Amino acid sequence: MRILISADMEGATGVTWTADVVPQTEQWQRFRRLFTGDVNACVAGLHAGGATDVLVNEAHSSQRNLLLEDLDPRARLLTGRHKPLSMMQGVDSGVDGVVFLGYHAGAGQEGVLAHTYLENSITGVWLDGVPASEGRLNAALAAEHGVPVLLVTGDDKACDDARDYAPGAGYVAVKECVSRYAAVCSPPQVTSELITAAARAAAGRAGRAPGAVAAHRVEVEFDATHLAAAAAVVPTVERVGPRRVGFDAASMTLTMQAFKVVTAIAAGAVEGIYG
């Protein structure tokens, strides 16, 4: 049984603040340990449930956050940026299931550090007309490869989101959202036990199904008109409103590739504190 863990950081135990997840800050150094602890708890549970191979794909920011020296030796770590499938690299390698660990709610939604790809320039993303978090986008990509989402961890809002896009998964809320930058947090001793137990149960749901390739439409709304104008220079991307662009793609893989281009160009068009 081969399992992929897509490990994001905003939904990790204790994380509530920008500096908790921004590389090179003192707080980031602290929360790297807690983040690694969440991953290790998941690895332990998956192996207890019968997994024989666990690949952990770093999915946050620089994608160099987890502490390899502290990682459970039964896992392998895919670290570093510029991976073709980004947060979901490895989903096409024959895995039997994927865990979304440390996930968060999407742009424009309630949740601790809620966003979709860009931290504060995107106000909404829609996949086939449905508001889309990173979890929803990644679940659609997993489905294209016949890979089930087994477990989602994050704050309670991330779990609520996941119940809609992955109704057959398990869910662990490691914190309760109070605001974008505040949460009622359980200590790592508690969240580790919860994650391990849920991961062990989740392993029992592993098993690939036939994949299904289908066309998709994505629309992205920004907080400023010039970002939409910048993104609209991408071939196939059209401006559908003053701050909104949309595009169609023949598969979810192509959809995510185009989405990465759109977000990268928009990020490059942000100018200082005026955005």
Q: What positions carry a catalytic annotation?
A: 115
Nearest to 132 by CA among 150, 112, 114, 155: 114
Nearest to 127 by CA among 113, 141, 115, 114: 141
Nearest to 178 by CA among 228, 111, 249: 111
* Number of residues in the chain: 275
Nearest to 107 by CA among 248, 243, 239: 243
Provide the CA 221 distance to its chain's centre, in angstroms: 19
Taking the C-alpha atoms of residue 113 and residue 115, their distance in angstroms, rounded to an integer, is 6
**Residue 216 marked ligand-binding:** no
Provide the pairing of β-strand 130-131 with 122-127.
antiparallel
**Residue 8 marked ligand-binding:** yes
**Residue 60 marked ligand-binding:** yes
Are the C-beta atoms of residues 103 and 134 closer than 8 Å to each other?
Answer: yes
Phi, psi (rounded to 5 degrees) for 245: -125, 160
**Residue 58 marked ligand-binding:** no
Q: Which residues are annotated as a binding site?
A: 8, 10, 60, 104, 134
> What residues form the annotated binding site for Zn(2+)?
8, 10, 60, 104, 134
